[in-house]
Structure 1
Protein backbone atom coordinates (compact mmCIF):
# COMPACT_ATOMS: atom_id res chain seq x y z
CA UNK A 1 0.00 0.00 0.00
CA UNK A 2 1.16 3.56 -0.66
CA UNK A 3 2.55 5.45 2.32
CA UNK A 4 0.24 8.46 1.87
CA UNK A 5 -2.83 6.25 1.67
CA UNK A 6 -1.83 4.28 4.78
CA UNK A 7 -1.19 7.45 6.81
CA UNK A 8 -4.63 8.72 5.78
CA UNK A 9 -6.32 5.38 6.63
CA UNK A 10 -4.58 5.38 10.04
CA UNK A 11 -5.94 8.91 10.61
CA UNK A 12 -2.62 10.70 11.02
CA UNK A 13 -3.82 13.20 8.38
CA UNK A 14 -7.26 14.59 7.60
CA UNK A 15 -6.88 14.21 3.82
CA UNK A 16 -4.72 12.09 1.56
CA UNK A 17 -3.40 15.20 -0.20
CA UNK A 18 -2.16 16.57 3.15
CA UNK A 19 -0.36 13.27 3.76
CA UNK A 20 1.20 13.46 0.27
CA UNK A 21 2.45 17.02 0.79
CA UNK A 22 3.82 16.16 4.23
CA UNK A 23 5.79 13.19 2.90
CA UNK A 24 7.26 15.21 0.02
CA UNK A 25 8.35 18.12 2.26
CA UNK A 26 9.30 16.33 5.47
CA UNK A 27 11.75 13.62 6.38
CA UNK A 28 9.76 10.44 6.88
CA UNK A 29 11.60 7.17 7.40
CA UNK A 30 10.57 3.63 6.60
CA UNK A 31 12.76 1.11 8.45
CA UNK A 32 15.39 3.84 8.95
CA UNK A 33 15.52 4.81 5.25
CA UNK A 34 14.59 8.42 4.38
CA UNK A 35 11.57 8.59 2.05
CA UNK A 36 10.29 11.63 0.17
CA UNK A 37 7.91 9.91 -2.26
CA UNK A 38 4.26 9.43 -1.36
CA UNK A 39 4.11 6.23 -3.42
CA UNK A 40 6.65 4.44 -1.18
CA UNK A 41 5.34 0.98 -0.28
CA UNK A 42 4.25 0.15 3.26
CA UNK A 43 3.66 -3.39 4.52
CA UNK A 44 2.90 -4.94 7.92
CA UNK A 45 5.99 -5.19 10.13
CA UNK A 46 7.62 -2.00 8.81
CA UNK A 47 8.64 0.80 11.19
CA UNK A 48 7.67 4.39 10.29
CA UNK A 49 9.35 7.39 11.89
CA UNK A 50 8.08 10.93 11.35
CA UNK A 51 7.66 14.19 13.24
CA UNK A 52 4.05 15.15 13.75
CA UNK A 53 3.46 18.23 15.83
CA UNK A 54 5.96 18.65 18.67
CA UNK A 55 6.90 14.97 18.94
CA UNK A 56 8.51 12.28 16.86
CA UNK A 57 6.21 9.34 16.15
CA UNK A 58 7.64 5.83 15.83
CA UNK A 59 4.98 3.50 14.50
CA UNK A 60 4.99 -0.20 13.66
CA UNK A 61 2.58 -1.04 10.83
CA UNK A 62 0.37 -3.90 12.02
CA UNK A 63 -2.18 -4.04 9.20
CA UNK A 64 -3.21 -2.36 5.97
CA UNK A 65 -6.61 -0.68 5.97
CA UNK A 66 -9.20 -1.28 3.29
CA UNK A 67 -11.01 1.96 4.10
CA UNK A 68 -10.70 5.02 6.28
CA UNK A 69 -12.87 3.98 9.17
CA UNK A 70 -13.53 5.43 12.61
CA UNK A 71 -10.68 6.20 15.01
CA UNK A 72 -10.95 2.94 17.03
CA UNK A 73 -10.64 0.96 13.79
CA UNK A 74 -7.70 3.12 12.63
CA UNK A 75 -5.78 2.45 15.87
CA UNK A 76 -5.77 -1.27 15.01
CA UNK A 77 -3.59 -0.52 11.96
CA UNK A 78 -0.50 0.44 14.00
CA UNK A 79 1.36 0.01 17.24
CA UNK A 80 3.06 2.98 18.90
CA UNK A 81 6.73 2.44 19.78
CA UNK A 82 8.51 4.75 22.19
CA UNK A 83 11.49 6.52 20.56
CA UNK A 84 14.89 5.68 22.09
Structure 2
Protein backbone atom coordinates (compact mmCIF):
# COMPACT_ATOMS: atom_id res chain seq x y z
CA UNK A 1 0.00 0.00 0.00
CA UNK A 2 1.20 3.53 -0.78
CA UNK A 3 2.57 5.59 2.10
CA UNK A 4 0.62 8.75 1.27
CA UNK A 5 -2.67 6.84 1.04
CA UNK A 6 -2.13 5.09 4.38
CA UNK A 7 -1.14 8.18 6.39
CA UNK A 8 -4.16 10.01 4.93
CA UNK A 9 -6.57 7.12 5.54
CA UNK A 10 -5.62 6.83 9.24
CA UNK A 11 -6.13 10.58 9.61
CA UNK A 12 -2.57 11.72 10.25
CA UNK A 13 -3.05 14.33 7.50
CA UNK A 14 -6.23 16.22 6.55
CA UNK A 15 -6.00 15.51 2.80
CA UNK A 16 -4.23 13.13 0.49
CA UNK A 17 -2.47 15.99 -1.27
CA UNK A 18 -1.14 17.19 2.12
CA UNK A 19 0.06 13.64 2.84
CA UNK A 20 1.82 13.42 -0.53
CA UNK A 21 3.40 16.86 -0.03
CA UNK A 22 4.66 15.80 3.40
CA UNK A 23 6.19 12.66 1.91
CA UNK A 24 7.88 14.68 -0.84
CA UNK A 25 9.11 17.20 1.72
CA UNK A 26 10.80 14.55 3.86
CA UNK A 27 8.37 14.81 6.77
CA UNK A 28 7.38 11.12 6.63
CA UNK A 29 9.82 8.32 7.44
CA UNK A 30 9.12 4.59 7.26
CA UNK A 31 11.43 2.41 9.37
CA UNK A 32 13.85 5.30 9.76
CA UNK A 33 14.17 6.01 6.04
CA UNK A 34 12.68 8.94 4.16
CA UNK A 35 9.56 7.75 2.33
CA UNK A 36 8.37 8.77 -1.10
CA UNK A 37 4.59 8.99 -1.56
CA UNK A 38 4.62 5.76 -3.60
CA UNK A 39 6.75 3.78 -1.12
CA UNK A 40 5.01 0.74 0.25
CA UNK A 41 3.85 0.34 3.83
CA UNK A 42 3.31 -3.07 5.43
CA UNK A 43 1.96 -4.23 8.78
CA UNK A 44 4.65 -3.86 11.43
CA UNK A 45 6.34 -0.85 9.82
CA UNK A 46 7.19 2.15 12.00
CA UNK A 47 5.98 5.44 10.50
CA UNK A 48 7.31 8.77 11.79
CA UNK A 49 5.47 11.84 10.52
CA UNK A 50 5.64 15.54 11.24
CA UNK A 51 1.95 16.46 11.10
CA UNK A 52 0.17 19.79 11.58
CA UNK A 53 -0.58 18.64 15.14
CA UNK A 54 3.04 17.78 15.96
CA UNK A 55 5.38 14.82 15.61
CA UNK A 56 3.67 11.41 15.46
CA UNK A 57 5.26 7.97 15.69
CA UNK A 58 2.98 5.04 14.86
CA UNK A 59 3.39 1.33 14.14
CA UNK A 60 1.19 -0.05 11.37
CA UNK A 61 -1.09 -2.85 12.56
CA UNK A 62 -3.58 -2.95 9.68
CA UNK A 63 -3.71 -1.51 6.18
CA UNK A 64 -6.54 0.68 4.91
CA UNK A 65 -7.31 1.64 1.34
CA UNK A 66 -10.11 4.11 2.13
CA UNK A 67 -10.42 6.90 4.66
CA UNK A 68 -12.47 5.73 7.64
CA UNK A 69 -13.83 7.16 10.86
CA UNK A 70 -11.46 8.22 13.61
CA UNK A 71 -12.35 5.33 15.92
CA UNK A 72 -11.72 2.73 13.19
CA UNK A 73 -8.54 4.50 12.07
CA UNK A 74 -7.14 4.43 15.63
CA UNK A 75 -7.39 0.62 15.58
CA UNK A 76 -5.12 0.42 12.54
CA UNK A 77 -1.99 1.66 14.29
CA UNK A 78 -0.26 1.66 17.65
CA UNK A 79 0.62 5.18 18.74
CA UNK A 80 4.15 5.54 20.14
CA UNK A 81 4.33 9.33 19.90
CA UNK A 82 6.27 11.16 22.60
CA UNK A 83 4.14 13.26 24.93
CA UNK A 84 3.73 16.86 23.79
CA UNK A 85 6.01 19.39 25.48
CA UNK A 86 4.39 21.40 28.27
CA UNK A 87 2.87 24.67 27.21
CA UNK A 88 4.73 27.75 28.25
CA UNK A 89 2.93 29.92 30.72
CA UNK A 90 2.53 33.37 29.23
CA UNK A 91 2.78 36.30 31.56
CA UNK A 92 -0.25 38.52 31.21
CA UNK A 93 0.51 42.04 30.08
CA UNK A 94 -0.71 44.72 32.45
CA UNK A 95 -3.79 46.53 31.16
CA UNK A 96 -4.82 50.12 31.57
CA UNK A 97 -8.03 50.90 33.35
CA UNK A 98 -10.92 51.49 30.95
CA UNK A 99 -11.73 55.19 30.63
CA UNK A 100 -8.31 56.35 31.84
CA UNK A 101 -7.58 58.05 28.50
CA UNK A 102 -4.50 57.94 26.38
CA UNK A 103 -1.20 57.07 28.02
CA UNK A 104 1.17 59.90 28.68
CA UNK A 105 4.60 59.93 27.10
CA UNK A 106 6.12 58.56 30.32
CA UNK A 107 3.53 55.77 30.58
CA UNK A 108 4.02 54.87 26.92
CA UNK A 109 7.78 54.50 27.46
CA UNK A 110 7.17 52.28 30.50
CA UNK A 111 4.83 50.10 28.44
CA UNK A 112 7.41 49.77 25.67
CA UNK A 113 10.07 48.81 28.24
CA UNK A 114 7.79 46.05 29.56
CA UNK A 115 7.18 44.73 26.06
CA UNK A 116 10.90 44.64 25.38
CA UNK A 117 11.05 47.07 22.48
| TM tier relative to shorter chain | 0.7 to 0.9
Superposition deviation, residue 50 in structure 1: 1.8
TM-score computed with the length of structure 2 as normaliser: 0.63
State the number of aligned residues: 82
| Kept in 1: contact 2:55–2:81 (CA 8 A) | no
Structure 1's unaligned 5+ residue stretches are none
CA RMSD between the two structures:
1.5
- TM normalised by structure 1 equals 0.85
Deviation at 1:27, TM superposition (A): 3.1
2:60 equivalent to 1:61: yes
Gaps of 5+ in 2: 83-117
Moved more, 26-35 or 73-82: 26-35
Which structure: larger Rg? 2
- 4+ residue runs of structure 1 moved beyond 4 angstroms? none
For residue 15 of structure 1, report the CA deviation from its aligned partner.
1.5
